[in-house]
Chain A
Amino acid sequence: MLHAKIIDLPKEKINLEKAESFISSSKFGASIVFYGTVREDNEEKKVTGITYDSHDELVIKSFKEIYDEADKKLNIKEKSVFIEHVKGYVGLGEISIIIAVACPHRSEAYDLSRYIIEEIKKRSPIWKKEHYINKDSQWLKGNPINVNENN
């Protein structure tokens, strides 16, 4: 079972309760809620916030692919997964991403949670523009998408 969504700030809100509620089931004995927040420094610069941009359709497609791959690559059949990523401006300490997973056993839950965040970092078309205390801002250098892997 998968929930995948882009949260368009400030029209919508991201919250942990929704994630916990989605994955809650007596079928599962292990649940992990991972969330990423905006950190106050990066490469010796004082950060005040991040603007996220997203190609929504491709991002949702990538979330579904990553979820499906967990069957084959990790052999995790029974699972509940909740993924939300924001787009728009996020202030210091605020949440940019939630990945909540529930599986029958803890080893599967840890593996799945880690797998999802690492694959999102590599494959999901999301971009960050950092804003700094001196009012400067810049798009962060990312990793090029591998065209062949996606064809």
Chain B
Amino acid sequence: MKIKLELFGASKDLSDKDFLELKLSSNSSISDLRNEIINYVDKNFKGNKDFKKIIETSAFCSENNNIVSDSYKITKDQKIGIIPPIGGG
């Protein structure tokens, strides 16, 4: 499956674009997606610890704008948003 991972906040430092394109095997979960992003950091940023911490503490948002848990199953190609720790105002 192809996942377009939309980047927000500190996760924007993972790419020059506003998104990453990742491949996951079918019947994957958010937990698998999180691991795939960590693999991406290992490959492209020499395992940068700050980036890994951001990914480990991020939530994820489904295509229909719901925050989803690590067990949420991704069943088709779709957009997923990564939601790092927040702080506006």
Q: Which residues of A contact B (CB under 8 A)?
A: 36, 52-55, 57-59, 61, 85, 96-97, 117, 120-121, 123-129, 139-145, 147-148, 150-151
Contact = CB atoms under 8 A, between A and B. Distances in A.
B65 A121 contact: no
B86 A53 contact: no
Contacts of B1: none
Contacts of B88: 52, 54, 59, 85, 96-97, 120-121, 124-128
A127 B67 contact: no
B59 A117 contact: no
8 contacts: A85-B89, A126-B86, A127-B84, A128-B87, A129-B9, A139-B9, A142-B85, A151-B68
A142 B89 contact: no
Band of interface residues on B = 20 to 34
Provide the main secondary structure of the chain A interface: mixed
Contacts of A96: 88-89
**Which of the listed residues B8, B66, B83, B86 has the most CB atoms from chain A within 10 Å of its own CB?**
B86
A139 B13 contact: yes
Given A53-B12, A55-B81, A139-B9, A126 B87 contact: yes
